[in-house]
């Protein structure tokens, strides 16, 4: 049975790959982008099965209107993919207030409002799926990506809670956590002006690794997208979907270290309880 999908950030990267794969297999796509012209070739190829919507996720009122209109036009939408995001690169001290505010407005607040806009429609139609494209960076952290991590850790916490709230309505969430993947993510990084004082620090090491190409990118975009689609179409989708060997290794190491640190604090943790209970 064919499905209808909403995909934000569908004009590039994983969002564009997903739109192509879904359309090729016969599904319909509502593709949101800030530049509709970037999807003109796909529009000509697939006609009415591709519904292109101009949407800026930092304009909150646009999000609710666009989602309301999409459900009205298509009657039923099976999967909402919250994909639009970008990377802000620089040590925390190097970032400007405007850069910080825009990163949060796009990656975190935009995703929150998209999900909130979709929930009443999914609830009324008897269920559906929401696929949030996060990152290994929702579970681990690299230097120079502090605000990007803040948005990804933030949206994952939001979804952890909301998933419990709406499970009785047949609404499932999937948090996709790809590792470094061959897309245009790196080329589209917004970079802060570097401070010399960070040159010989872990922040400087990461800056050099990205600059000289020694930061290894193992993830394949098409395979990553195919795994996301398969999860969204499965009978029992996972809440978290880790994608790529780099992500698996780094998330596993981070969670193991966190659990070990927690176990070491058991006695201190229990000492904070009320003594009369």
Annotated catalytic residues are: 148
Q: By three-state DSSP, how is residue 172 classified?
A: strand
Closest-CA residue to 133 (of 24, 6, 245): 6
What are 178's strand-pairing partners? 243
For 63, phi then psi, to 5°, come to: -60, -50
Structure tokens at 129: 């799926």
Q: String of b and e for 86-109 (b: at least 16 CB within 10 Å)?
A: bbbbbbeebbeeebbebbbbbbbb
Q: How many CA atoms lie within 13 A of 191 on its CB side?
A: 12
Q: What distance in Å separates the CA atoms of residue 111 and residue 107, rounded to the nearest whole number?
A: 6
What are 88's strand-pairing partners? 190
């Amino acid at each position: 049975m064919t499905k209808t999908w909403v995909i934000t950030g569908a004009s590039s990267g994983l969002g564009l790959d997903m739109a192509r794969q879904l359309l090729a297999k016969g599904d319909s796509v509502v593709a949101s982008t800030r530049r509709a012209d970037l999807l003109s070739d796909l529009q000509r190829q697939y006609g009415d099965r591709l519904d292109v919507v101009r949407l800026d996720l930092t304009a909150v009122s646009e999000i609710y209107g666009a989602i309301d209109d999409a459900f009205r036009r298509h009657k039923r939408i099976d999967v909402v993919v919250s994909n639009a995001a970008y990377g802000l690169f620089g040590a925390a001290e190097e970032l400007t207030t405007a850069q910080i505010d825009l990163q949060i407005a796009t990656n975190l607040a935009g995703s929150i409002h998209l999900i909130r806009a979709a929930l009443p429609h999914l609830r009324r139609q008897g269920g559906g799926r929401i696929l949030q494209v996060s990152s290994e960076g929702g579970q681990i952290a690299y230097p120079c990506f502090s605000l990007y991590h803040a948005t990804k850790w933030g949206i994952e916490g939001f979804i952890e809670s909301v998933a419990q709230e709406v499970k009785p309505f047949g609404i499932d969430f999937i948090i996709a956590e790809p590792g470094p993947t061959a897309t245009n993510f790196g080329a589209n990084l917004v970079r802060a002006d570097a401070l010399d004082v960070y040159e010989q620090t872990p922040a400087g090491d990461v800056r050099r690794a990205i600059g000289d190409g020694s930061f290894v990118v193992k993830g394949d975009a098409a395979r990553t997208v195919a795994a996301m689609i398969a999860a969204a179409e499965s009978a029992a989708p996972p809440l978290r979907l880790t994608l790529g060997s780099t992500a698996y290794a780094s998330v596993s190491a981070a969670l193991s270290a966190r659990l070990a640190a927690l176990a070491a604090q058991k006695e201190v943790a229990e000492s904070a309880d009320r003594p009369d209970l």
